[in-house]
Chain A
Amino acid sequence: MSADVSDLSLVRRVQSGDKGAFDALVLKYQHKVTKLVMRYVRNPAEAEDIAQEAFIKAYRALPQFRGDSAFYTWLYRIAINTAKNAVVSRDRNPVDYDLDMQNTDESYELQGRMKDAETPEGLVLTDEIRTTVNAAMDALPEDLRTAIVLRELEGLSYEEIAASMDCPVGTVRSRIFRAREAIDKRLREVFEGGLGRTEELG
């Protein structure tokens, strides 16, 4: 399977004026872009701001995207440049960030968590999703768990996973889908049941 086909399908739709397709691209890449940006700014809330800015820049530049490189390569480049610019801007305005500048690595994480406190629901949501997904992963049959871990954590293609699990590609696709469905079912139960349901479901 050629890489980037699904992204390109969405990109072409955005280029033809379908904004909903860009929502799908952002939903798919928001975590990866935020994680990438955190290599530069480290504070999660600030990283989300920069990721947001990068996506908006990408949206505005998308009409010029010709598909010479993969969409995510292009997007990551925009994110890196946006993050670098933010760091330069921060260095030019040290007063705003003087607390950050005094921090050691050890205290940085704590400060990041404190700044995260501005969105307590976001934190709760993160914890809830993480707990639910991890519990659901633990409950998966081993072949399903292995397939989705190889895909999501190792980034292997279906063909590579098939080779490593010694099974047909179609089986890999089915296993990954079934794993996602099982986890997603638990996630939906938590969303519909409200906070605190994770323990009951565990």
Chain B
Amino acid sequence: MNEELDSQLSAMFDDELPQGECELLARRLSRDAALQARWGRYAAIGAVVRGDVRVGSSVAYKVHAVIAAESAPAAQRPVAFAGSGGRTASLWLRGVAGAALAASVAAVSILWLQGGLPGGAGVLVARAPVPAAAAPETRASYVVPRAVESRMTVPATELANYVVAHSEFSTPVSRRNLLSALMASEPAAVGAPEQSLGSVDDPNPHADDAR
């Protein structure tokens, strides 16, 4: 990567880049996966220096997935994650369920820091229901198994067992969302109409967010 570009990125991260350069770099940053990954690693470095608790946070990926889902066609919407307001489940859940949902989220978060999510938001959602096609185009990760095929056949009951077995370690909010997603991902529920995003438990999320 261009050293001057990286130097600009570092200065932009610190809010020390002139406005004109910032605007140009912001455009590139929003589209360049490698640059975004580097940006994310700069943030992780800062978090370690400050002694933040969860350096390997998956918040960014979860937010990315929820926002991508909002603009995706209903049939392609991925399941939302715990705490995101109770969104819909889809085949995406079953695609990652074989191993462990939470572990998969962590894995994708690592992918992001490695080299960015392939293709950006739209592609992520479009690819999500077909895990074989969603195999990352980035370098192989140490936590992402290559055998994606077997995950597709794991019945929801197995995942339910997994959730129950681990429930004592998960937050109540997480449990509710996971179990709701499981119910929705059962074959009988696949064709059911999906709830509109954000309408489940927070009809007016900005009501008390003072500006």
Contacts and interface: CB of A to CB of B under 8 A. Distances in A.
Interface of A: 1-7, 9-10, 12-13, 18-24, 26-35, 38, 43-53, 55-57, 59-61, 64-65, 68-69, 74, 77-78, 81-82, 85, 96-97, 114-126, 128-130, 133-134, 137, 148-149, 151-153, 157-158, 173-174, 176-177, 180-181, 183-184, 187-188, 191-195
Contact of A125 (B30, B106, B205): B106
Contacts of B63: 22-23, 26, 30, 52, 55-56, 59
B182 to A, nearest CB: 15
A115 B167 CA distance: 9
Interface stretch (B45-53, B128-136, B148-156, B187-195): B45-53
A7 B23 CA distance: 10
B180 interface: no
A133 B51 CA distance: 11
Given A18-B30, A45-B171, A114-B169, A56 B209 contact: no
Contacts, number: 279
Given A3-B15, A128-B56, 8 more contacts: A6-B12, A13-B26, A27-B43, A49-B171, A122-B54, A122-B105, A153-B50, A187-B41
B76 interface: no
A13 B83 contact: no
Nearest to A174: B7
Contacts of A12: 23, 26
Contacts of A82: 209
Nearest to A7: B15
B14 A126 contact: no
